[in-house]
Amino acid sequence: MILPWIKLPSCKKKLYIFKNAPDKVNEKFINDLSISWLHFMKDNTSLGFLFDRNTYKEDLLGRKIRLLHVTPSLNKLKKSKRLNSSGGGLGSVIYCCPLHKNFTPHNLFYLYSQFQLPKKIPREKIGSICIEIDSKFSLNQIANFGVDYTLFGRLHCQVWGELKSISKDKEYFKQLEKNILDRMNENKNYLNLLTSYKMEKISFNKFQIIYDKIFNEFPELRFILYEVLAEYILLNQNNKKALYYAKKREFFNENHKKFIWDLCPTMLKKFDMKNFFISINKISNYLKKRDIIKDFNEKSFQNWFKWRISYYFLKVGEKLIDEHNSFEDLMDSHPNLVGQVLYRAFRDKHLFELFRSKHLYKYWQKEGIIIPIYSIVAKGEMGINPNLDKLNIRYSVYETEVLNGKIRLGKKIDLKISPNMINKSDVVTR
């Protein structure tokens, strides 16, 4: 997927995003709507200019790319001489943030090293490494690094089939498929109200009922809620810190992360999208009281919120849901939607991600994706494809030290990046 932070894609037919979709939609309509949303967000938010005026081009162009990885296990890594990948929204990667060419770190580095990890681990145990990649990418190459996990559903259906074929516990798979089929059939009218992208006559009170119903019936789809809230705060924040980092051409991360942790503290203990739910009233009240968005307009937020939620359901669901008699028919008709539910409903997410990683690595190798990056807002989270050795891409790993707001590279570490996934017991945060 072409990243909007390289160049905002042009749209021959820019759509008015707060207008009902036609009765029949196709892939072209959804693509046009996606691009129209990007242009709307760029032109109508406080920090929309950062879509294509951020630091990413400078960070990724040139002979050396430097990425920072925060870890509480530096001594363990040195002993093992191996850095394993982690699952999550980017697939199976080494999660990092950019170290700019002037050796100042992206603000996401401070969020993890000074705020998030110290909530769980003594600060003195937290360290970081710099992974320096020796490869000169072209603008066209880095434009292709985009990864959109909200469209991983089809891949998830494929992984589901593989896990099902080798499992001896056929009854578990049968029961989970029946559970998903029943839930989809029972809630198809509510799902279709969102997937139809027809919000003009849906009052906000009615939307709240749909919102509560769907996200309680389908906790596996709460990643949509997470992304919509993150986008809204990242793009509309205009307090002192947000504007300070905007001058540095960075989206400030602490505001939206602290919002999430304050209203849904379980996400700080364990980052599980199924546990992420906040009532709309709590969201509005928080944004009214906190110094995040000055002159917060509740009506404007409500309008954005219901249409953007509906957009994601259309993007993931692709078309209206009919009654289905079999799980196979449902999955064939709505692979992206069903795949997202399967991934989060499955009892062993680590095993699921392990099987998924093999497909992602094969695809990334084919497409030349070296640094997978979520493709919407340039918030600083980047991944490293852990197959650098296999791809004959040279890299070095260094200890780091923070001095006067800059990162000083220290001793070179004998450390290999591995596509093997980290043990579940060692996972702390992304």
Give the pLDDT mean for 397-413: 95
**Per-residue model confidence (pLDDT) at position 359:** 96
Confidence of residue 426 (pLDDT cuts 50, 70, 90): low
Helix-helix angle 349-367:335-345, to 10 degrees:
130
Q: Are 113 and 123 in contact (CB under 8 A)?
A: no
pLDDT > 50? residue 97:
yes
Confidence of residue 95 (pLDDT cuts 50, 70, 90): very high
For the stretch 250-279, pLDDT in tens is: 999 999 999 999 999 988 778 889 999 999
**DSSP 3-state of 62:** coil
Q: Using CA atoms, how far apart are residues 228 and 234, in angstroms rounded to an integer?
A: 10
Backbone angle region of 150, left / alpha / beta, with phi > 0 → left and psi within -120 to 50 → alpha: alpha
For the stretch 36-72, pLDDT in tens is: 999 999 999 999 999 989 999 999 999 999 999 999 8
pLDDT > 60? residue 176:
yes
Q: What is the pTM of this model?
A: 0.95
